[in-house]
Structure 1
């Protein structure tokens, strides 16, 4: 694939969205007549297809060292995901916002957000990458304030605004340290030096370079944790469900994945330094642990999905900490499409919940869990034995426990025939997982760093978290009516009270003013001040 030709063509994509956003603005009178959203959808899909096709056909060598934007297999997959999700959301929003005065404004900022995401992904320059990251956050902030009369949405947007500035400071510090270490702002040049130094260990770098790059790796890890809404910086993600469904879907299915992409883009740097890996492993690991438990206590569909996003993003960061970059890329793409579907289909959740209650499902007993664990362990052990895998054990443990829960829950309310079907489904899914991981490693990420060693300290830490989470999940289901379990569930329902202190800090730093229209004879407007006391 020619980076030069395809990158130039793909730069036209964000420019196209930027131009279309001008026509989509609220002051434009031609929006409804010209069906701007249809032009934006089909135009973006056609431009993406042409640029990728030209890049695949054109094999001319490209001078990459001085290009502000470049294209790689990794970037192609992520951009393809972004464009597909954007097209789906714009099509969905056409019916969702029927009769809403804010629709032109939504369409404008939606396209500017997508344009900023594509620029960030294509960036081969630290300054371009940073400004693209900043533009994504500012564009999304306007989407979160589509309904400024919703107090929870405004507070969540303000918390997101402050955290976004914090992540940008950490990223700016990391990029400054990288420039001081390598005297270049081009990302591919920096990664090239790191890739050459990796086989010789960090001793191939000077003492100053080692200090600078260690600090840069840690700053990037912290920026990714903040961007992916990991505990305790998660509250805005939970509250943001007050925003319209297409905005929530864009955030959960697309924008929040940039934290994972940041780690993939700088994988050689993260892989060289264990402090950065431990920052990710501890921060994201604990977030996975508590977010997954808190999700089980929620009854609102969107709030459950928000907690799920925090947990899933944490799992993706843990995969990067373990050096499982191919698995992280698969996770990024799969999570994007799943979350887009889940949010856009959230209206059907009421009927699904009613069907579930009517069926009166039986809680799995100890025998069900033991039987499912035995069957799943045999399947995973066979897959592990016949593969040439030599990386960490924790992903295989996670797969084992996940399918154990899947089989135990389904077989608790069915006969023996259903067990055979579920075993077959498990074998097919595990085979697809293994094949997809091998394909991504071989064709999309062939030169990425190797994963951490089997049973390394960070691998043992992740296995301990996964095992404890599984045991607590069973205990909460089996002994759900016990007093101490009820107390624990109350604590989880409150999110461990971690968000309360950050909300107070946010309102102290920046009191929020809401405009609330009153329905009296004079239609007067009152100003409600939040956090003024």
Structure 2
């Protein structure tokens, strides 16, 4: 039986949100007032539950509660006058309740059910407002993948519970850390890794994430900042179990590597704000899964928190960003043309790239034996290099002191900020004492990111060059992966699209959507 009585305070946050969702159903005329009051109190509920939670759960619970409060407050202005408002508030509260329950749960069954609740509530949010064929198709694709993920999670829970004789997470993690685990637990962990890949929108299962940009902006903010991170958090919370199954971590690392490298290229071809952010999320989740796969669980937690905070701000500010860009264009302050750099400028950028890569390799070489900090050190150097080199590649030596100040600010500021964040979050996340995957996986990850880095720098320096022209049409099409996946899945279960007449009737109460993209 699930462990539901481990700490009453841990249930305060999800319980209050579920109660508020039920109250909204009974009193729809007060939906926004009820929702705002409960979500504003949610961060306090998360803090009250701190003594009952694991350190990583404390961070995630507060992050989700804060994102819920900010996003619902934004939603009230965004959906002002929309007839679907009460329904939106109800499902929004249930989505945040499910996500928070995933973080506070200490039972595997409760975690799986809460994860499913979050997915089902999000599905309802994706189609809120006037019926739109594109939104219905995207929601249908997500629904299919989510149900496959649900089946994988349910089977995994049964197998793991059978192997360890319990669904209590602390007890099964203690058992997993004592030595070899049964074959049924290995199979369950592999299924759990597959569910994480599906729910993290990794290639080629990413299409729904890109296409749900049809949804209202606050829904996109909730999805990209809080919900999609849950898969990686589940892996972090079950770290000892995954470390005992190297094949599962290998699967996560390879899937994440493919998504991170390819999605980063596709992102450069997107001209819309929300489209670029969606592909960025796919790439960032890929990077998080690479960190998990190499045992850098502390770095993955840092990445989840930073990504959640950034994406919430990016989506909620996307409308004003478009407005500012339009003002700049009208004022003639357009961005500088992306002309190829002069040879001497290109040489300077390549020297900068080589210097940063050399520093990353030197940092890895300094650690002669694998310690719990080695994967974080190696991936931290990679993260900094991936951030620094493209930025340095766009600087021009001809800009003089201004360019020099920008370059120094990037070189000194970013690693310092990254080090501070890491120092704060590293002590509260689990760590792997040894490399939990075969050495060839780590080598492949380093080689893959190095190749992606070389391509990024080359394209940045020569946007009209041969490599850029060869990659552009394929990157623009998302390397054709979603098209193939959609054709195959829709043959098995085609979507049911609302008839145009029904859509027309529903559109009489138009949703005030910022056409940010």
Bucket of the pairwise TM-score, normalised by the shorter protein: 0.7 to 0.9
CA deviation profile, 1:349-379 (whole Å, cap 9, x unmatched): 3345454872415555422422422554576
Q: CA RMSD in A?
A: 3.0
Q: CA deviation at 1:45?
A: 2.9
Residues 315, 436 of structure 1: alpha-carbon distance in 2 compared, 3 angstrom cutoff? same
In 2: Cα distance, 1:147 partner to 1:121 partner: 30
Shift of 1:506: 4.0
In the alignment, structure 1 residue 315 sits paired with structure 2 residue 297: no
Paired residues of 1:148 and 1:154 also in contact (CA < 8 A): no
In structure 1, the partner of 2:166 is 184
Residue 10 of structure 2: aligned partner: 10
Q: Is the 8 A contact 1:26 1:105 kept in 2?
A: no
Looking at structure 2, the residues matched to 290 and 176 of structure 1 have their Cα atoms a distance apart, in angstroms, of 35
- TM-score w.r.t. length of structure 1: 0.84
Q: Does 1:246 align with 2:218?
A: yes
> Quick one: distance in 1 between partners of 2:263 and 2:10?
37
Counting only pairs closer than 5 Å after superposition, residues 217-296 of structure 1 correspond to structure 2 as 217-296=189-268
Counterpart selection for 1:76 from 58, 64, 81: 58
Change (3 A) 1:419 1:127: same
Cα distance, 1:395 vs. partner? 4.0
Say yes or no: does 1:327 pair with 2:299: yes
Equivalent positions of 1:110-189 (< 5 A) are 110-147=92-129, 149-189=131-171
**Is the aligned partner of 1:107 residue 2:89?**
yes
C-alpha change, 1:130 and 1:454, in structure 2 (3 Å) is closer
Distance 1:252 1:26, change over 3 A: farther
Report Cα offsets for 1:467-496 as digits up to 9, x if no partner: 111122233334433566434211111112
Q: Show the counterpart of 1:427.
A: 412
- Deviation, 1:105, is 1.2
Please state how far the C-alpha of 1:433 moved relative to its aligned partner: 2.2
Q: What does residue 504 of structure 1 align with?
A: 487
Residues 92/219 of structure 1: CA separation in 2 closer, same or farther (3 Å cut): same
Preserved CA contact (<8 Å) 2:132 2:503: no
What count of residue pairs does the alignment treat as equivalent? 491
Give 1:248 deviation, angstroms: 0.6
Q: 1:213 aligns with which of 172, 182, 185?
A: 185
1:360 is matched with which residue? 336
Contact map agreement 1:394 1:462 (CA 8 A) in 2:
no
> What 5-or-longer segments of structure 2 have no aligned partner?
509-517
Query: Is residue 514 of structure 1 aligned with residue 494 of structure 2?
Result: no
Report the Cα offset of residue 50 of structure 1. Answer: 3.3
Deviation at residue 422 of structure 1 after TM alignment: 3.0
Q: Pick the aligned partner of 1:369 from 330, 333, 349.
A: 349
Partner residue, 2:384: 399
Q: What is the DSSP-based 3-state SS (H/G/I as helix, E as strand, rest coil) of the residue aligned with 1:347? A: helix
Q: Which residue of 1 aligns with 2:20?
A: 20
- Matches of 1:19 and 1:243, distance apart in 2: 26
- The counterpart of 1:97, out of the listed 79, 84, 102, is 79
Contact map agreement 2:384 2:414 (CA 8 A) in 1 = no
Is residue 480 of structure 1 aligned with residue 463 of structure 2?
yes
1:240-264 per-residue CA deviation (whole Å, 9 max, x = no partner) reads 0000000011000111001101110
Quick one: structure 1 residues 84 and 121, their matched pair in 2 at CA, closer, same or farther if it must change by over 3 Å? same
- Shifted more, 288-297 versus 341-350: the winner is 341-350
Deviation at 1:176, TM superposition (A): 1.6
Instruction: Give the C-alpha shift of residue 186 in structure 1.
Output: 1.1
The structure whose RCO (Cα within 8 Å, separation 6+) is larger is 2
Q: Shift of residue 336 of structure 1?
A: 0.4
- Which whole-Å deviations, capped at 9, do the CAs of 1:314-355 have from their partners, x for residues lacking one? 000000001000000000000001000110111133345454
Aligned to 1:43: 41
Pairing partner for 2:275 from 275, 280, 303 = 303
Choose from 442, 446, 466 the match for 1:463: 446
Deviation at 1:300, TM superposition (A): 1.1
State the alpha-carbon separation in 1 of the partners of residues 103 and 504 from structure 2. Answer: 50
Q: What's the CA shift for 1:218?
A: 1.4
- Kindly tell me: are residues 290 and 378 of structure 1, through their superposed partners in 2, closer, same or farther at Cα, counting changes over 3 Å? closer
* 3-state SS, counterpart of residue 202 of structure 2: coil
CA distance in 2, matches of 1:264, 1:519: 43
